[in-house]
């Protein structure tokens, strides 16, 4: 599976703690990240990450493009709900595309934990359900 990991600045420490705790699961998948988040993951864990541009410079949109091409399976995006982001339209667009394409999106650690545990158990069947419908 292809997973994207993203965190706003004040949530990056939380994301590092989370990916460290769930490194054994994450290591079984292909990981993508926005620029600064990805750099921190690579510096502070043993995970290998394909980095896009930094979020404010288009990284969210690059991940959105992968979603639109049906090439992304899950997004873990620790958003900061208390700080205005200069690229808020990009953040909204990314989340909107997750809903357009039914891509699982966790915007906080609680949901991210459930998603990763579900992923580990093989509960990610939405593509099959969608294919049956089409």
Based on the shown chain and the rule CB under 6 A, indicate whether residue 34 belongs to the binding site for ligand 13P. yes
What binding mask, one character per residue, do residues 60-99 give for ligand 13P by CB under 6 A, x or -?
x------------------------------x--------
- Give CA 41 to chain center in angstroms: 13
Annotated binding-site residue? 29: no
Based on the shown chain and the rule CB under 6 A, indicate whether residue 107 belongs to the binding site for ligand 13P. no
Which of the following is catalytic: 43, 46, 48, 60?
A: 60
60 is catalytic: yes
Based on the shown chain and the rule CB under 6 A, indicate whether residue 36 belongs to the binding site for ligand 13P. yes
- Which positions make up the binding site? 8, 12, 34-37, 54-55, 87
Footprint on this chain of ligand 13P (rule: CB under 6 A): 6, 8, 34-37, 54-56, 59-60, 91
């Amino acid at each position: 599976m292809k997973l994207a990991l993203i965190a706003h600045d004040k949530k990056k420490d939380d994301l590092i703690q989370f990916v460290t705790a769930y490194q054994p699961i994450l290591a079984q998948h292909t990981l993508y990240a926005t620029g600064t988040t990805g750099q921190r993951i690579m510096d502070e864990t043993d995970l290998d990450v394909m980095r896009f541009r930094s979020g404010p410079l288009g990284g969210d949109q690059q991940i959105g493009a992968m979603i639109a091409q049906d090439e992304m399976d899950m997004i873990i995006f620790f958003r900061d709900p208390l700080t205005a982001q200069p690229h808020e339209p990009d953040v909204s667009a990314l989340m909107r595309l997750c809903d357009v394409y039914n891509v699982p999106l966790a915007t906080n650690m609680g949901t991210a934990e459930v998603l990763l545990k579900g992923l580990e158990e093989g509960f990610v069947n939405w593509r099959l359900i969608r294919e049956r419908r089409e």
